[in-house]
Structure 1
Amino acid sequence: MGPEELQAKTGEQLGTSEWVEMSQERINQFAEATGDHQFIHVNEEAAKMTPFGGTIAHGFLTLSMIPYLTANSDVPRLDGIKMAVNYGGNKTRFINPVRSGKRIRAHYKQLEMIEKRPGQWQQTNEITIEIEGEDKPALICEWMTMYFV
């Protein structure tokens, strides 16, 4: 699909990712990588005493899953991409904690697709990360990606 074709999908739902488990092992690895060892993430016994009833994934872990979720989704792909980079976010809201062992998936709605300069396109998507079996999502964000074609 060319950038102009994708641009025509502005305002539309683009797709959904596969489900992925937020295991305690993944949470512990994120804690190691970031140095964020707050007990609600890594101490299962202490976390049982909180309103969460157990450990939860870091909000930033959930946010950082966007590239993986996108790669494992049915979102349309641009043809001829030389490079794609995360460009940033306009809004991010952590709405509901992801408990260890729960599965998440992402839903993508294109808000904007603009050509910044020849061969460089900026896409803004509203991404909602759903938690399996829960009414409220884990997070909603407006995320921007820069494509070089």
Structure 2
Amino acid sequence: MYDRYYDEVEVGDTAIYGGVQVSEEYINRFAELTGDHHPLHVDPEFAARSRYGQRIAHGFLVLSLSAGMFPMDPAAVVAFYGMDGVRFVKPTFIGDTLRVRLTVTDKTDKTVGGVVQTALEMVNQRDEVVAVATMRILVARSPARAEVVA
């Protein structure tokens, strides 16, 4: 999706990327990095008594994993433009394998190229959606097209 220039992306384009297994180490390292040591994430006994019956991954960990799953061509991607509507709709457990599904929902022209808006869905190995967001990335026009526009 973000391995193409703005003028090469169309509303409706969809792609699925990744295949990252969430490990206990990921959860523990994320807790150390962020300081979020909520017992649902790091305490097996506490988590076993919770509604989930086991430890769950941090929502922000799940969302952060998406960033490394889809390709971003440095020649095309100008900047991360923002994210809205983040929701964590199902828990992610140790051992779950996550993929990210991106669907282009809008494009907004800008001088440098434009903002590509995508519906981001994190899905587990059962194809259940565990997290959603609307993501926007500023993407350059292709070099050949940029010369015509300028």
- In which range does the TM-score fall when normalised by the shorter chain? 0.7 to 0.9
User: How much does 1:78 deviate?
Assistant: 5.8
Corresponding residue number in structure 2 for 1:52: 52
Contact 2:6/2:140, CA 8 A, preserved across alignment: no
Do the aligned residues in 1 keep the contact of 2:116 with 2:138 (CA within 8 Å)?
A: yes
Aligned equivalents of 1:44, 1:132: Cα separation in 2? 23
**Alignment-derived partner of residue 131 in structure 2:** 139
1:84 to 70, 78, 88: 78
**1:57-76 to 2 correspondence within 5 Å?**
57-71=57-71
- Tell me the residue number matched to 1:12: 13
SS of residue in 1 equivalent to 2:18: coil
Whichever residue aligns with residue 96 of structure 1, its letter is: K
Unaligned runs of 5+ residues in structure 2 are 142-150
Shift of 1:137: 1.1
How far the C-alpha of 1:148 sits from its partner, in A, is 4.2
The corresponding residue for 1:74 is none
Query: What secondary structure does 1:105 align onto?
Result: strand
Aligned partners of 2:36 and 2:69: how far apart in 1?
23
Whole-angstrom CA distance in 1 between matches of 2:137 and 2:61:
18
- 1:86 partner SS: strand
The total of aligned residue pairs comes to 138
Given the alignment of the two structures, is residue 107 of structure 1 paired with residue 101 of structure 2, yes or no? yes
TM-score (norm 2): 0.82
The question of whether the paired residues in 2 share the 8 Å contact of 1:108 and 1:127 is answered with yes
Relative to structure 1, the CA distance from residue 55 to residue 26 in structure 2 (aligned partners, 3 Å threshold; closer, same or farther) is same
1:42-71 deviation per Cα after TM superposition (whole angstroms, max 9, x unaligned): 111221111111110111111111211113
Separation of aligned partners in 1, 2:109 and 2:5: 12
Larger Rg: 2
Instruction: Report deviation, 1:31.
Output: 0.6
Q: After TM superposition, what 4+ stretches of structure 1 lie above 4 angstroms from structure 2?
A: none
How far apart, CA to CA, are the structure 2 residues paired with 1:78 and 1:39?
38
Q: 1:109-128 residue pairs with structure 2 within 5 A?
A: 109-117=103-111, 119-128=112-121
Deviation at 1:114, TM superposition (A): 2.3
Residue 40 of structure 1 deviates from its aligned partner by 0.5
Q: Report the CA distance between 1:121 and its aligned residue.
A: 2.1
Give the secondary-structure state (helix, strand or coil) at the position aligned to 1:70: coil
- SS of the counterpart of 1:17? strand
* Aligned residue identity for 1:63: L
